[in-house]
Amino acid sequence: YLQFILWSYRMNIKPIVAGNWKMNASKDAVKSLVNGILSGMGDVSAEVLVCAPFPYLSQVETLISGSSLMLGAQNLNVNVSGAFTGEVSAEMIKDFGAKHVIVGHSERRSLYGETSEIVAKKTKAAIDSGLTPLLCIGESLDQRESGNTEAVISEQLTTVVRLTGIEAFKNIIIAYEPVWAIGTGMTATPEQAQAVHMFIRNLLASSNQDIAEKTPILYGGSMNAGNALELISCPDIDGGLIGGAALKAEDFLQICKAG
C-alpha cells in the first residue's frame, strides 16, 4: 500500500526531456533545430530543455524567448570569475537565460579527467549560483561486466552527496547514462535501466526518503523516438537525456511527446 502511495505520488512528477547537443552546432543548424522544436511544442507536456555549446547560448536564448523551451549549458568552471583562461562560470551561463547545466558527463570524466571530486565541486558551484545541475553518472562496459555497476554508481553519487549534502538534491536532476550505451545504438533495456534507477533512488532514500521520491532520474544512452516510450514508462525513469536524437527536431519532438 505504501509503495502504491509513493508510486502514485511519483506519477505527478512532470517528465523531463533534455537534449545534449555536445559539440555539434552551427548558427544555421541551431536556428532550424530550435524553430523545428518550437513548432511542435504545443503537443508536449513534458519539461523540455536543450543544452547548447557555449557560443550558441545567446542565439538559443533569443530563439526560445517567450516559449516553454528551456536552455542549459554542458559544463561550467567551479570559480565565480578570475584568471581562468578559456573557462566559463555559472554566472556567465545564467547571464544568457540558462537554467540548467550538465555536470559529470562521461565524456568529461573519461576525456578531460574529471574525477568524482571535481564533479561534486561543479555540482555545488551550479547549485550555489542557482543553476540546476544535470548530474550524470554511469558505468562503463568493463565495470558492468565485472559486476561493479552498483559500486561505481554509488561512488559517483555519494561523492556528490558528501560535498553538497542531501538537501541539495531538491535542486538536482540525475541522469543515469551507462557509458556503453552512449552513442553506440546499444540502449539499455527497460529492465536494465529500471534496476539501476531504482538502485539510485534507494541510495538517495537511505539519506532522505522524501527527497529520493522527488528527485528526477533521467535515462541517457541511445534513447530515440523508437525506444523512448518504453524506457520513460518505467516507474523510476523520469525522462531522458538525449544526444544524437536531439539533433533532429522531428526525432527529439517524438521523444518529448513520449515524455
Which positions are annotated as active-site residues?
105, 177
Q: Who contacts 87 (Cβ-Cβ below 8 Å, separation ≥6)? A: 77, 79
Closest to ligand 13P by CB, 182 or 217: 182
Taking CB atoms, the residue at the shortest distance from ligand 13P is 243
Q: Who contacts 83 (Cβ-Cβ below 8 Å, separation ≥6)? A: none
Closest to ligand 13P by CB, 220 or 239: 220
Query: Which helix (H) or strand (E) is 134 found in, with range?
Result: strand 132-137
Provide the phi-psi class of 113: left if phi over 0, else alpha when psi is between -120 and 50, else beta.
Answer: left
**Cell numbers 574529471 label which residue?**
114
Length reported for the chain? 259
Q: How far is the CB of 21 from ligand 13P (least distance, A)?
A: 9
Q: How far is the CB of 86 from ligand 13P (least distance, A)?
A: 22
Q: Measure Cα distances from 5 to 47, 151, 160, 168, 201 in Å.
A: 24, 30, 29, 24, 16
| Cα 103 off chain centre by | 8
Closest to ligand 13P by CB, 84 or 112: 112
Q: Who contacts 202 (Cβ-Cβ below 8 Å, separation ≥6)? A: 212
Q: How far is the CB of 223 from ligand 13P (least distance, A)?
A: 6
State the residues that interact with ligand 13P by CB under 6 A: 20, 105, 177, 182-183, 220-223, 241-245
Closest to ligand 13P by CB, 30 or 223: 223
Q: Measure Cα distances from 177 to 65, 84, 133 in Å.
A: 30, 29, 15
Closest to ligand 13P by CB, 204 or 223: 223
Q: Measure Cα distances from 85 to 58, 79, 81, 82 in Å.
A: 20, 12, 10, 9
Q: How far is the CB of 150 from ligand 13P (least distance, A)?
A: 21
Q: How far is the CB of 85 from ligand 13P (least distance, A)?
A: 26
